[in-house]
Every structure is written in structure tokens, then in C-alpha cells.
Amino acid sequence: MAVEDPTESRTVNLGILNCDVNQGPIAKGWGQNDEIYARFFEGVAAKFFPSWQVKVRNYRVCPDSQLPTEDDVKDLDALVLTGSTHDVWEEVDWLPPLFDFIRKYHSEKRFVGLCFGHQAINQALGGTVGTMGYSENGLERVHLNATGRKILQTSKEGFDIHFLHAAHVSSAAPTLKVLGASAKCAVQVTYSPGRVLTVQGHPEFPPEMAYEYVRYAGELFGTDQTANLAGMVAEDGSFRPLDRWWIGAKLLSFCVTGKIVPDLELRE
């Protein structure tokens, strides 16, 4: 077994390091990141680990530099860094304490990072993050390498999720292995045994939210997102299939034990 018996009841305590304040239609329709991540991981547990109860604690890293205390860290199963409209190179007061926190605790507590969280963890641990010169928005495929398939315990060649970013990890942190890439981004998933698992994409976004976020980004930045939006929708008008629950099961099992559930043990 790669993870604890999923039929055994347990509480999963996640610390959500909230790195943004959602605005506009995103805040109105889906709330703040702690609510979005709670619904995502609760949904993963309901599908694959129904005896697990997910509880989240929200830490307002942005803009308040609120981080877990040492006692909090001891009580949490894992720390989850959210996405953000900010970049890791910005000169804002809350970023240096966040980087220090990652460096201090990554060797003793499990860390998961999505999008900005993926970038922040790599940056803090000695990787390089920079602008892409273009964006990766909408539905894209992450292609797993041989190491990625082995670590994620899957025969899948890749997985499909939504993206919304114009910055990327150009060089992963020295202690992290790169597990996959997309056509537009070479460092999509990074991993350290039992300590770190990060993903550049947004599995936490429901399809409707991802679609609205891409549309809203086009409105905010004056960019044409027509092709990206069209690529998210099938001919019949439904949203194209995603692997968000599959990668969510990998993330949540890692949060609980530092191990990753194999595909053979995933039963909805």
C-alpha cells in the first residue's frame, strides 16, 4: 500500500498558505483561496478517500504575512501554497518571510504548491523563476517523464488540467526532481521524497471557474483569449475532460503520509 488504508477514518489537517486576495468575478463566484482549496480537497476525499475528513486552516500570507506558528506546523499534516496574481520576484513585504518559512520547515513538514506555490517553493529552495515571454492559459497536457510515472505510480503518459500563468520555473531547485513538462513549460511538476510535491497548473479550479478566470485575465490585461477559451470546451458545449481529481488524489495522499497513492488503489 502506498498510503494509509483509505477506509480508515482520519482527519487531514491542511494549512493553506493563502498567497492572494481574489477580486472581481472570481471572488464573487468562488470566494477566497482557502474556500476553493477546501472544496477541492474535500471533493478529492469524497471521491477516493471517503473516510477522510479534510480540515483547513487559512493563513493570510498575502497581504498580512500571516504564517503558521511552530505549534501550528506540528499539528498540520501538510502546508499548501496557493496560486497568486503576484510574482515571486516582486518587492512586497510578505514574500521574504514566506521564503524563509519554506526553507525552515521543508525538511520536516510536507509542502504542496500549485502555480505560484510551485514557483515559490522552487525559488525558496534555490531554483530559478522568470517570465516566459508568453502565457500558458486554458487546457493543456502535462507529459510525464519516466521518473514522473514511477513516482506518481501511474501508467498514464500525462494528465490534462487548466493553466493560467506567464511566469515559470526555468530551473528547478537542486533538491527537487522534475516529473513532467508541457509543450509550453519545461518544469511542470517537481518532487522531493516525502517532503515536496508541486504542480504548475490549477487542478483546484472547477471548469467553470477556470473558464471565467481565463476570460477575466483577457479582460484585465487586454489579451485575446478566444483560442484558449475555445480549447476548454468540446463541440457539444460541455467542458473538455480533466484529470483534476486524479492529480488531486496524488496530492492529498502525499499530504497525509508523504507517499503517493498508486492508480490501482484509486476507486471512486
pLDDT on residue 1 = 40
1 domain residue, yes or no:
no
66 domain residue, yes or no:
yes
Map residue 62 onto helix, strand or coil.
helix
- Average pLDDT of the residues of the chain: 96
Task: Give one word for 133, left, alpha or beta, with left for phi > 0 and alpha for psi -120 to 50.
Answer: left
167 domain residue, yes or no:
yes
2 domain residue, yes or no:
no
5 domain residue, yes or no:
no
Spatial distance between the Cα atoms of 244 and 228, rounded to a whole number of angstroms: 18
Q: Domain of 127: which CATH number?
A: 3.40.50.880
First to last CA, the chain: 17
Domain span at residue 112? 10-265
Counted domains in the chain = 1
Full-model pTM: 0.96
Residue 268 pLDDT more than 90? Answer: no
3 domain residue, yes or no:
no
109 domain residue, yes or no:
yes
What confidence tens digit (pLDDT) does each residue in 19-44 have? 999 999 999 999 999 999 999 999 99
DSSP 67: -
180 domain residue, yes or no:
yes
Bridge partners, residue 55, by sequence: 13
Residue 6 pLDDT more than 80? Answer: no
DSSP 204: T
